[in-house]
């Protein structure tokens, strides 16, 4: 490719990716090391390193064998994580993300990658590359490798509080992506919310549900958080960037924790394996931790999943009993009372006392 016309499917064509060297928690080291790995894995890959030339020391790459597929494109400015991304991109014409976006716009690179400020990458991309027809704002999309097939999830961080019409746009975009990228002819689109019944969720969700039902896609209705890692319910899951980001990170963190435990356990035990793994991960099992405490009412109330198994019900009951025996409620009254006293008076305090009469 290298800026040429883009054929529909061409896995062996040279491809150039512009990589932002600045930004990210451990840039540029992680970025440079990642570039080296990518280049070694893919003989048709070319990389533009966008950043101050002094950072692109070839020694850091330790990869003379791939040097000819690496090019340095100087850029000296960076939009910091705590900087306003739009002002930052507008005010810094030589920012790495802006330079990268222009390379893509001009056909000198095929794609750009940044692990710096997401907002800055978005702003640079939107300003420089423009939008696809039909979309007023971009979303961040991931494909989650769910148990029952890929699930396209969007938005995972671009728009923290989108209106319903933007969510509907993103549903279209996600469905289109699922068709193109995953070969799903008629993708099932689900709206992420807190219950399957129509109307579950907040006002935005209710309004979005009505809009999605009118779209020319197979809208299957509401889906819930676990439908994303499990898959099977919807091919495309639409949500706001706030919820999507937190869900995604929660899934990733869970994976990291669990897989670390598995690896540690197997390294130690080797053979007996199955029981050992089960024992090591048992305390993380959702069933064992079933049941939510209804905090705030003057009594012990445990609420479980509607889909609770027998084991989960037993856990709910055991939890309720333990809470009672440990004197949680009287302790809670006391601890809360102490904290309230320390809040002091004041009309703008966070604790309006509106006690519901029995």
Size of the site for a second copy (CB under 8 A): 200
Q: Read off φ and ψ for residue 355, nearest 5 degrees.
A: -70, 130
106 to 125, contacts with a second copy by CB under 8 A?
110-116, 118, 121-122, 125
Does residue 55 touch a second copy according to CB under 8 A?
no
Longest Cα–Cα distance in the chain: 77
Select from 129, 190, 234, 347 the one that contacts a second copy (CB under 8 A): 129
Nearest to 168, CA basis, from 136, 140, 195 = 136
Cβ proximity to a second copy: between 67 and 324 the closer is 324
Nearest to 32, CA basis, from 78, 63, 65, 73 = 63
- Rounded Cα gap, residues 43 and 180, in angstroms: 25
Select from 33, 61, 86, 108 the one that contacts a second copy (CB under 8 A): 33
Does residue 157 touch a second copy according to CB under 8 A?
yes
Least spacing, CB of residue 92 vs a second copy, in Å = 18
Least spacing, CB of residue 75 vs a second copy, in Å = 16
Least spacing, CB of residue 357 vs a second copy, in Å = 7
Select from 56, 96, 193, 222 the one that contacts a second copy (CB under 8 A): 193
Q: In a 3-state reduction of DSSP, which class is residue 10?
A: coil
Does residue 59 touch a second copy according to CB under 8 A?
no
Does residue 318 touch a second copy according to CB under 8 A?
yes
292 to 311, contacts with a second copy by CB under 8 A?
292-311
The separation between the first and the last C-alpha atoms of the chain, rounded to the nearest angstrom, is: 72
Cβ proximity to a second copy: between 92 and 219 the closer is 219
Cβ proximity to a second copy: between 92 and 124 the closer is 124
Least spacing, CB of residue 295 vs a second copy, in Å = 4
- Running DSSP on this structure, what letter comes out for residue 184? -
- Rounded Cα gap, residues 267 and 261, in angstroms: 10
The structure tokens listed for 288 are 């064992």
- Rounded Cα gap, residues 70 and 57, in angstroms: 12
319 to 348, contacts with a second copy by CB under 8 A?
320-321, 323-333, 335-337, 339-340, 342-343
215 to 244, contacts with a second copy by CB under 8 A?
215-217, 224-230, 239, 241-243
Q: In a 3-state reduction of DSSP, which class is residue 262?
A: helix
Q: Would you say the C-alpha torsion 262, 263, 268, 270 has a positive or negative sign? A: positive
């Amino acid at each position: 490719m290298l800026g040429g016309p883009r054929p529909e499917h061409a896995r062996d064509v040279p491809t150039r990716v512009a990589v932002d060297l600045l930004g990210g928690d451990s840039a540029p080291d992680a970025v440079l090391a990642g570039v080296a790995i990518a280049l070694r894995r893919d003989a048709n890959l070319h990389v533009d390193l966008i950043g101050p030339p002094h950072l692109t020391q070839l020694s850091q790459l330790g990869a003379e064998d791939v040097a000819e597929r690496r090019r340095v494109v100087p850029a000296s400015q960076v939009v910091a994580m705590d900087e306003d991304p739009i002002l930052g991109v507008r005010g810094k014409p030589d920012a790495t993300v802006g330079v990268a976006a222009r390379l893509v716009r001009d056909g000198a690179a095929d794609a750009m990658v940044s692990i710096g400020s997401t907002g800055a990458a978005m702003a640079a991309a939107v300003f420089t590359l423009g939008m696809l027809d039909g979309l007023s704002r971009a979303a961040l999309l991931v494909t989650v490798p769910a148990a029952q097939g890929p699930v396209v999830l969007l938005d995972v961080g671009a728009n923290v509080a989108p209106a319903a019409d933007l969510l509907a746009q993103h549903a279209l975009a996600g469905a289109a992506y699922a068709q193109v990228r995953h070969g799903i002819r008629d993708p099932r689109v689900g709206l992420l919310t807190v219950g399957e019944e129509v109307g579950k969720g907040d006002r935005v969700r209710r309004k979005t549900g009505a809009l999605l039902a009118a779209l020319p896609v197979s809208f299957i209705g509401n889906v819930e958080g676990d439908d994303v890692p499990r898959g099977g319910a919807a091919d495309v899951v639409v949500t706001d960037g706030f919820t999507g980001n937190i869900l995604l990170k929660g899934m990733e963190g869970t994976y990291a924790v669990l897989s670390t435990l598995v690896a540690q356990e197997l390294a130690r035990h080797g053979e007996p394996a199955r029981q050992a793994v089960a024992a090591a991960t048992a305390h993380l099992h959702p069933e064992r931790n079933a049941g939510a405490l209804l905090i705030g009412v003057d009594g012990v109330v445990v609420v479980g999943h509607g889909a609770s198994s027998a084991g989960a019900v037993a856990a709910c009951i055991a939890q309720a009993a333990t809470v009672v025996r440990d004197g949680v409620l009287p302790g809670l009254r006391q601890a809360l009372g102490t904290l309230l006293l320390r809040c002091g008076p004041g009309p703008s305090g966070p604790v309006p006392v509106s006690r519901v009469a029995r």
